[in-house]
Chains A and B, each alone.
Chain A
């Protein structure tokens, strides 16, 4: 026994220095698992005007870029009054110390050149604290009247380089513009930039219109109109406003149309004799296919971005819930199981989430869930929120919110999928049923 103790003691004495030496080798290692979530401070000095007539448009472009970035809630613009370094020349070297001193973490510099109707906009993006440029400088060329789109494109590039996600600023939204009181409301289709600018009306208000939906290319719009007395689906060409109605049977109502990702097929609902089911229609051949055949109400279909599945709402279980079925039809799979009623599901363009409207305990919510129904997250709550639509990058949702009372107004809102940055979208009149286009 005494010998055994001696052995162990000798082994310990011999091993400790080696152990200590082994532990002392290599760098100090730490693991960071907690961070902060806050807007990234970004400095955007007014773009340099390269020609005499460029100053005004340069200022406008800079304003739009700043508004785009700060409007995401991910960036915070540092006011120009805090700038130490005056950016006078686009080609001049950047004094990073001056921008570090005001805690600018990103810097956007640019120049604008207007000659006649030709417009050139170029920019560079810098990571201030590393003192390096993020990507290469980019230049956009176009016409002067398209300056706003140029600004959106610069903002998209900046957003994409910093966040790693696609932008959504150079996109449009088609919606139903609403004016007048609730009992005499006029509705017409309208088109606008994503931020509410450049509103253009696509129809007059002689007939009630509902649920406009962009085609995958953004060149066409599906919508439902009551102009024949019954709801009927139309396809509108955005470029020339030519339109045609899709065939419908007498005594039926067609509604809730939406394009398939291939742009050649639409999925929609037909209501006949009190029953509503989902059909697809090949636009070119006019061939239709029934996808559901149940005594319950199936409507609001939306394709998965890969075109393989369709999510829709149904009350076959006794209350409105969300279901997913193959694009060829077949047995649907219920994915919503929470309390309340679920409606207007829309598949994310990234394919990872489904946005929906939920009504529970007298309140309306816009929410998102995984495509299998897990990880449900309610983003908003109000008297009436409805009709979500996804931004092209799948990070932002736009919807409409209606306030209570006879003077209640319907307004478009946008919210990040994290639930942050809930903000109204400014439109001349009220707005509802938004549909976001792809990037232009």
Chain B
């Protein structure tokens, strides 16, 4: 570990010694011009100066008389006439109700309701397009999964997997060219959330109805329903359990992080290339699901440390939150749990993390910054 220090120190000592004792900065004197001068006495100098002095003037200039200042005109002040003020109009106040109007109403019978939500036919599809929508940009196809890269709908037979693989089946001779495997393909994904308002208006109809703002004039009331109103069934409120264990994971993580030993193992082997780092980043990104995070957790950046085994799997209990920023402690706990799930779920293969560089990725510090995910 200290080889670099020894080389650097030796080099510096040699350099400083060479600079001091090697007469490196000794230089020849610069060329100089020489001029002869003569020495004069004080009297000679005074006589020479006197010949060049200017004549002195003693003429006085009469100052002009100061004119008398005119008297200050008397200022007559009058009190300001008060401006006419119209008294403010009192706000129109609804008169106080003398006695509340109470309607005696017998408690109606219990409504006949079922516990299961009733079946409701789907609303009829809206038809005709009167207003074509002009989109400013290409509208991506909505999908349940939002990912950094859009993925078209895979073969329904394919199992979800980040790696695309075709199924191995028997050939025409009825023999398997190699071990049979299922087809795999990434799940369908869009790059951003597409709301209904952003979809093409293929099934929408122009509405002629203005929004309801004020009640309309009284209209004829439809025939009353003979069925009396039902009595709400006051439900007994279960006793809430106020036990709170929400901080346990966070405290444990922070305590573990603060007490983590500083003596990390010495990285060995050449550092990871940019491509290898990118592969690791992509692998973790594909498992980092922020869909169930709260708004606050999506404002929180967490730094997570993890110790890896040589077969590129996180060691049990080694995933810890080193720090967080931008959110509350509770939000940090949610964000950390999502990050931990991402790390554990990602089965990292040796292609991503080369074994010969294990010393470089034995300890990994990952910063999960959801800033770009908030605008999806």
Contact = CB atoms under 8 A, between A and B. Distances in A.
Contacts of B349: none
Interface string B365-376: 111111111001
Interface stretch (B31-39, B64-72, B292-300): B292-300
A270 B286 CA distance: 56
B222 A426 contact: no
B12 interface: yes
A62 to B, nearest CB: 14
Given A150-B238, A245-B101, A40 B367 contact: no
Per CB-CB distance, the 6 closest pairs between chain A and chain B, nearest first, are A419-B195, A14-B11, A362-B206, A17-B4, A378-B197, A35-B288
B207 A28 contact: no
A427 B238 contact: no
A189 to B, nearest CB: 8
B254 interface: no
A36 B232 contact: no
B210 to A, nearest CB: 8
A15 to B, nearest CB: 7
Interface string A17-49: 110110111111111111111111000000000
A401 interface: yes
Contacts of B291: 36-40, 74
Interface of B: 1, 3-5, 7-8, 11-12, 14-15, 24, 91-97, 100-103, 105, 107-108, 111, 113-120, 122-124, 126, 130-131, 144-148, 187, 189, 193-199, 201, 204-215, 218-219, 221-225, 227-241, 243, 245-246, 249, 264, 267, 271-272, 277, 280-281, 284-297, 305, 319, 330-331, 333-334, 337, 339-342, 344-345, 360-361, 363-373, 376
A186 interface: yes
Interface stretch (A80-88, A193-201, A331-339): A193-201
A287 B119 contact: no
Contacts of A75: 292
A126 to B, nearest CB: 12
Say whether chain B's binding surface is mostly helix, strand, loop, or mixed: loop
Nearest to B232: A200
Contacts of A424: 120, 122-123
B207 A363 contact: yes
A17 B7 contact: yes
Interface residues of A, number: 155
A326 B245 CA distance: 40
A25 B293 contact: no
A164 B232 contact: no
A306 interface: no
A365 B133 CA distance: 14
Contacts of A323: none
A129 B340 contact: yes
Contacts of A321: none
B76 to A, nearest CB: 42
A324 to B, nearest CB: 18
A380 B201 CA distance: 11
Interface string A273-298: 00010010100011111100100010
A364 B111 CA distance: 35
Contacts of B264: 25-27
A28 B232 contact: no
A379 interface: yes
Contacts of A307: none
Contacts of A287: 93, 96
A138 B239 CA distance: 11
Nearest to B147: A36
A365 B201 CA distance: 12
A36 B146 contact: yes
Interface string A232-275: 00000011111111111100010100000000000001110000
B96 A426 contact: no
Contacts of B319: 130
Nearest to B226: A204
A299 interface: yes
Contacts of B240: 153
Say whether chain A's binding surface is mostly helix, strand, loop, or mixed: mixed
Given A28-B363, A241-B108, A15 B8 contact: yes
A201 B112 CA distance: 10
Most B Cβ at <10 Å: residue of A288, A290, A350, A404: A404
Contacts of B219: 208, 226
B364 A248 contact: no
Contacts of A53: none
A200 B215 contact: no
17 contacts: A14-B7, A20-B4, A28-B363, A29-B366, A30-B366, A35-B370, A37-B146, A142-B238, A162-B334, A200-B233, A205-B222, A249-B95, A286-B97, A288-B93, A297-B213, A378-B195, A379-B195
Contacts of A239: 232, 234
Contacts of B95: 247, 249, 286
A419 B214 contact: no
Most B Cβ at <10 Å: residue of A23, A163, A197, A276: A163
A35 B289 contact: yes
Contact of B290 (A35, A344, A395): A35
Contacts of B233: 198, 200
B369 A32 contact: yes
Given A10-B15, A241-B107, A31 B367 contact: yes
Contacts of A141: 238-239
B362 to A, nearest CB: 8
A424 B118 CA distance: 12
Nearest to B7: A17
Most B Cβ at <10 Å: residue of A27, A31, A210, A367: A27
Contacts of A38: 144-147, 187, 289, 291
A349 interface: no
Contact of B281 (A24, A32, A320, A382): A32
Nearest to B225: A205
A242 B281 contact: no
Contacts of A201: 108, 111, 227, 229-230
B262 to A, nearest CB: 10
A309 interface: no
